[in-house]
Amino acid sequence: MGGRTRASWTSRPLRLRLPADLGRTAAAIVLVGAAYYLGARLGLSLSLVERNVTPLWPPSGIALAAFLVLGRSMWPAVALAALAVNLPISAGPVPALVTAAGNTLAPLVAAIVLERIGFRRQLDSRRDALAIVFLGALASMTISATIGATTLVWSKAIGIDDLAGAWAVWWTGDAMGVLAIAPFLLCIPLFWELEPWPAARWLEAGVILVLTTVLALWTASSGLALLFLVLPCLGWASWRLQLRGAAPAALMASLIATWSATHELGPFAGTSLLEQMLTLQAFNATVALTSFFLAALVTERMRFARALMSAATDLEERVNTRTAQLTATNDRLRREIHQRHETQQQLTLEEARTRREHQIAETLQRNLLPDRMPDIPGVDVAARYVPATADLHVGGDWYDVIQLRGSLIGLVIGDVAGHGLQAAAAMAQLRMAVRAYAVRDPSPIAVMNGLHELVRELPMAEMVTLLYVLYDPDTGTIRFTNAGHPPALLIDDEHTRYLEGGLAPPLGVLVQHDYAEATHQLRPGATLLLYTDGLVEERTLSIQDGLDRLLAEASGVGQADLDALCDQVLSTLRESGEVADDIALVALRPLVLAGAPLSLDVPADARMLFQVRHALGRWLRESGVRRQDAGELAIACGEACSNVVRHAYGASPGDMQLEARLVDGTVELTVRDHGHWRSPTGRGGGLGLTLIRGLTDSVDVDTGPEGTTILMRRNVVLGNEQ
Partner 1 sequence: MTEYAVADAGTTNGVHAVRLCGEVDLTNATDVREAISRIASPDAAVIVIDLTETAYLDSSGIAMLFHLAERLTQRRQTLRIVVPPNSPLRAALDLTTLPQTIPIQPTLE
Options 40-48, 100-108, 201-209, 601-609: segment touching partner 1 (CB under 8 A): 601-609
| Cβ proximity to partner 1, 521 vs 628, nearer residue | 628
Q: Please work out the total of residues on this chain that contact partner 1, with binding judged by CB under 8 A.
A: 28
CB of 695 to partner 1, least distance (A): 6
Q: At what angle do helices 163-187 and 22-45 cross, to 10 degrees?
A: 130
Q: How far is the CB of 632 from partner 1 (least distance, A)?
A: 5
Separation CA 404–CA 715 (nearest Å): 33
473 counts as binding partner 1 under rule CB under 8 A = no
Using CB under 8 A, which of 132, 250, 695, 699 touches partner 1? 695
Nearest approach, Cβ of residue 642 and partner 1 (Å): 5
Closest C-alpha to 516, from 483, 472, 475: 483
**Choice from 332, 505, 627, 702 touching partner 1 (CB under 8 A):** 627
Q: Which stretch binds partner 1 (CB under 8 A): 91-99, 224-232, 358-366, 634-642?
A: 634-642
| Cα–Cα distance measured from residue 444 to residue 296, given in angstroms and rounded to the nearest whole number | 116
Element spanning 418, H or E: strand 409-419
CB of 622 to partner 1, least distance (A): 17
**Nearest residue to 585 (alpha-carbon basis) of 448, 417, 386:** 386
Helices (H), 71-92: 75-89
Concatenate the DSSP letters of all residues of 576-631 into one string: TS--SS-EEEEEEEE---TTS-EEEEEES-THHHHHHHHHHHHHHHHTTB-HHHHH
* Cβ at position 369, least distance to partner 1 in Å: 25
Q: Quick one: 584 or 634, whose CB is closer to partner 1?
A: 634
| Phi–psi pair at 63, nearest 5 degrees | -65, -50
Do 241 and 201 contact (CB within 8 A), yes or no?
yes
Pick the binder of partner 1 from 690, 698, 703, 715 (CB under 8 A).
Answer: 690
Residue 410 is inside which H or E element, if any?
strand 409-419
Q: Is 332 in the site for partner 1 (CB under 8 A)?
A: no
Asked if 639 is part of the footprint of partner 1 (rule: CB under 8 A), the reply reads: yes
In the complex with partner 1, the residue whose CB is nearer, 216 or 634, is: 634
Of residues 436 and 606, the one with the C-beta less far from partner 1: 606
Among 211, 425, 551, 691, binds partner 1 (CB under 8 A): 691
- Name which of 231 and 608 has its Cβ closer to partner 1: 608
607 interacts with partner 1 by CB under 8 A: yes
Beta carbons within 8 Å of 222's beta carbon, 6+ residues apart: 266
Q: Give the Cα separation of 644 and 663 in Å (integer).
A: 25
Stretch that binds partner 1, among 127-135, 194-202, 563-571, 639-647 (CB under 8 A): 639-647
CA distances from 540 to 104, 338, 543, 545, 569 (A): 102, 41, 10, 10, 18
613 binds partner 1 (CB under 8 A): yes
Mark the segment that binds partner 1 (CB under 8 A) among 67-75, 217-225, 542-550, 690-698. Answer: 690-698
Q: Which of 646, 674, 678, 713 binds partner 1 (CB under 8 A)?
A: 646
User: Which CB, 472 or 537, lies closer to partner 1?
Assistant: 472
> Cβ 620 to partner 1, closest distance in Å?
11
**Would you say 495 or 683 has its CB closer to partner 1?**
683
- Angle formed at CA 369 by CA 403 and CA 538, multiple of 5 degrees: 115
Instruction: By CB under 8 A, name the one of 362, 380, 453, 632 that touches partner 1.
Output: 632
> Which of 429, 610, 668, 713 lies at the binding interface for partner 1 (CB under 8 A)?
610
What are the distances in angstroms from CA 578 to CA 219, 418, 441, 534, 554?
Answer: 107, 19, 40, 11, 21
Shortest Å, Cβ 469 to partner 1: 20
Cβ–Cβ < 8 Å for 252, 213? yes
Residue 396 or 680 having the CB closest to partner 1:
680
- Choice from 206, 232, 406, 597 touching partner 1 (CB under 8 A): 406
Q: Choose the binding region for partner 1 from 106-114, 139-147, 167-175, 625-633 (rule: CB under 8 A).
A: 625-633
Of the candidate spans 19-27, 349-357, 538-546, 609-617, the one that interacts with partner 1 by CB under 8 A turns out to be 609-617
Taking only Cα atoms into account, the Rg of the chain, rounded to an integer number of angstroms, comes to: 66
Smallest separation, CB 616 to partner 1 (Å): 11
CB of 627 to partner 1, least distance (A): 7
Burial of 293-317, coded b for 16+ CB within 10 Å and e otherwise, reads bbbbbbbbeeeeeeeeeeeeeeeee
Q: Which of 39, 43, 395, 638 binds partner 1 (CB under 8 A)?
A: 638
Cβ 381 to partner 1 shortest distance, Å:
20
Among positions 360, 373, 551, 635, the unique one binding partner 1 when judged by CB under 8 A: 635
Longest distance between any two alpha carbons in the chain, whole Å: 184
Q: Cβ of residue 656: shortest distance to partner 1, in angstroms?
A: 14
CA dihedral 625, 629, 633, 635 (to 10 degrees): 130
**Pattern 670-689, partner 1, x by CB under 8 A:** -------------xxx-xx-
- Measured CA to CA, the distance from residue 230 to residue 217 in angstroms comes to 10
CA atoms within 13 A on the CB side of 630: 20
**Rounded to whole angstroms, how far apart are CA atoms 654 and 496?**
40
Q: Mind giving me the DSSP string for 99-167? A: HHHHHHHHHHHHHHHHHHTT--TT--SHHHHHIIIIIIIIITHHHHHHHHHHHHHHTTSS-GGGHHHHH
CB of 441 to partner 1, least distance (A): 12
592 neighbors 618 (Cβ within 8 angstroms): no
Which amino acid appears at position 281 of this protein? Q
Of 694, 702, 715, 717, which lies in the binding site for partner 1, with binding defined by CB under 8 A? Answer: 694
Are 671 and 709 in contact, with CB atoms under 8 Å apart?
yes
Q: Could you report how far apart the first and last alpha carbons of the chain are, in Å?
A: 141
Segment near partner 1 (CB under 8 A); pick from 4-12, 139-147, 623-631, 663-671:
623-631
Residue among 606, 666, 700, 715 that touches partner 1 (CB under 8 A): 606
Q: Give the one residue of 321, 344, 628, 703 binding partner 1; rule: CB under 8 A.
A: 628
* Interacting residues with partner 1 (CB under 8 A): 405-406, 606-607, 609-610, 613, 627-628, 630-632, 634-635, 638-639, 642, 645-646, 683-685, 687-688, 690-691, 694-695
